[in-house]
Amino acid sequence: MLYRRYTPKDFDQLYALEEACFQPPLRFGRGYMQQLVSSSHAATWVAEEDDRMAGFGIVDAAEEADGIIAYIQTLEVISDRRGQGVGGELLRLIEGSARDAGAALIWLHVNAANASAIRLYEAHGYLCEGEKANFYALGNGAMIYAKALGVKMGS
């Protein structure tokens, strides 16, 4: 498996993976996904094998009152590659990008019904900080997870 930074030529494969992983109305729109990967405050990592995208992750960082905070926009792995370490490696890489941006904390929302994703985050040191009812379409709730990145707040 090759892990590398996203380039614009990857967009069609990336969005095809989004379509494979999420059905409407839970799927990001094509324009919104283009905004995410194009943001100067975001880092997108791709996992590929034999020129086929197996997964990707997008993290962005923003200046908050206490310093830079990173948010995982999405982490997606094609179904036939789940449970093989792809998600964990993508998570490690996007955490590194968040640290490089100076983020002291990284956080995310995850569908409360997505037990495998919750296990992944918990196995990598993320702690549940709460939940939000009706966060996703169709009334699905979200769990809020966060992890300190070892960077001093305000540095």
Residue-wise pLDDT tens digits, 26-36: 788 999 999 99
CATH label of the domain that carries residue 9: 3.40.630.30
Minimum mean pLDDT range among 2-6, 93-97, 117-121, 149-153: 149-153
Residue 48 within a domain: yes
Q: Is the pLDDT of residue 41 over 70?
A: yes
Burial 65-74 (b: 16+ CB within 10 A, else e): eeebbbbbbb
Domain of residue 17 covers: 2-148
Confidence label for 25 from pLDDT (cuts 50, 70 and 90): confident
Compute the half-sphere exposure of residue 140: CA atoms within 13 Å on the CB side of its CA: 13
Percent residues over pLDDT 70 in the chain: 97
Q: pLDDT at position 118, please?
A: 95
Residue 155 within a domain: no
Contact 68, 102 (CB under 8 A): yes
Confidence label for 152 from pLDDT (cuts 50, 70 and 90): low
Helix (H) or strand (E) holding 30: helix 30-38
Residues in a beta bridge with 56: 46, 76
